[in-house]
Amino acid sequence: MLAGLSAGLTAGVVTGASGEAAAAVPGRQVILVGANPGVSLFDGDRLTAFASVWDVRWSTRGSGRAIVLWHADRVRVLATETALGEWLSQYFTRNFPEVAGVPWPEPAIERADVTARLDLATGLHARARDVSVRLDGVLHRRTFSTDEFELAGVPHSLSLVLAPAREARITVRGRALPGTVVLGGTPERPSSSAFLTEAEVWSA
């Protein structure tokens, strides 16, 4: 889901980021349950590539998997269901803090088989057609929740298990995209621009 958010989850940048379970907001309903690891690669302060991997176990738009890839000012979505992939890209991912301020053109959406092997002990390997996303070296595991995660100006509730990773790699057609992972935080509470999530629940 989220590199700027990984730091935000750690530092409390996201409004209401207490790290503790938040009380349910009356009237909000669960809209998605699953996992959404994310990778942001940087050259200095410049974002060079971003990948959002979705494993949706249930949502109001169905279930399935997708990889949303931003690189070179283009957006590519590979999804098991194209309608689900468009929703994940345009409702969620384009509103994540990792891609705030970068060009987000109309995505190229492709129907594809998407595999995602996620392990909170070791990392992630996701693949769809010629795109591969790999995270290795899990640094920490902790819970997070907030009732003030904004998507297009609308607050949503979000809870998850977060696991920042030491290393990540995005490849397209066998070639690694440029950039490196940014690490931060403290030894007791590390953060990374590459992270796993699990038990992720969105409500609106």
Residue 3's pLDDT is: 44
Overall number of domains in the chain: 1
> Looking at 5-9, 54-58, 65-69, which range is the least confident one?
5-9
- pLDDT of 25 above 70: yes
pLDDT tens for residues 27-59?
Answer: 899 999 999 999 999 999 999 999 999 999 999
DSSP one-letter string for 134-147: EEEEE---EEEEEE
Q: What is the DSSP letter of 21?
A: P
**Mean pLDDT (whole number) for 74-96:** 98
Closest alpha carbon to 62 in 76, 81, 47, 75:
81
Q: Full-prediction pTM beyond 0.85?
A: yes
**CB count in 10 Å sphere of residue 62:** 12
Domain that holds residue 166: 3-203
Give the span between the Cα atoms of 84 and 31, in whole angstroms.
13
Residue 83, H or E segment: helix 82-87
Q: d(Cα 202, Cα 58) in Å, to the nearest integer?
A: 11
pLDDT of residue 147: 97
CB 197 within 8 A of CB 56: no
Other residues' Cβ atoms within 10 Å of the Cβ of residue 183 = 15
- pLDDT category at 14 given cuts 50, 70, 90 is very low
